Amino acid sequence: MDKELIDIKMDKKFFSVVSLSDKSDDKDYWLHRNPIERMQHIEVLRRINYGHSATSRLQRILEFTEG
């Protein structure tokens, strides 16, 4: 999967800009995908945005506050 992610390029022929008020079927599409597929796509988007620096996993941060 890592090699595939490195070679991802955006095909600008299929890119469009739409109004936020337009009805979209994106929500229905992702609601019908299983959680594993959703997480895999999140990883693809993260690597597209952050490149090779996204090779480490997301970190959880724990903070203590005094109450």
> What does the pLDDT look like over 17-50, one tens digit per residue?
888 888 888 888 999 999 999 998 888 888 878 7
Query: What single letter denotes the amino acid at residue 12?
Result: K
Cα dihedral sign, 43-49-55-59: negative
Reading the block at residue 45, the tokens are 């988007």
Distance separating the N- and C-terminal Cα atoms of the chain: 45
Higher local confidence (pLDDT), 11 or 3: 11
The confidence band for 65, taking pLDDT boundaries of 50, 70 and 90, is: confident
